[in-house]
Amino acid sequence: MAPYHSEGIRGQIVGMHDGGASIHTIAQPLEVPPTTVHDTICQYQERGHLKSLPIPGQPPKLNDQDQWELS
């Protein structure tokens, strides 16, 4: 699984790209692969935001109150 990059890193990627920097120029100082830079820019252009998509899966069966009562 690919590592998660914060919205801050993704924001820096988009900001540097908007400033005219190339993919390789962005990747080096941020220490991320060029493919990550490319994917982040494409996702931003498609979605219009930098937020992560919801993680799929079944929600927890117990809420905070239930967890507290069991502990």
| pLDDT range class, residue 1, cuts 50, 70, 90 | very low
How far is residue 32's CA from residue 41's CA, in Å, rounded to a whole number?
13
In the CATH scheme, what architecture does the domain 1-52 have? Orthogonal Bundle (1.10)
Name the helix (H) or strand (E) containing 12: helix 7-18
Q: Is the pLDDT of residue 27 over 90?
A: yes
For residue 52, the model assigns a pLDDT of 85
Q: What is the pLDDT of residues 28-71, one digit of tens each?
A: 999 999 999 999 999 999 999 998 888 889 988 889 999 899 88
* Span 1-17, average pLDDT: 85
Alpha carbons 13 and 18: distance in angstroms, whole number: 9
- Domain extent listing, the chain: 1-52
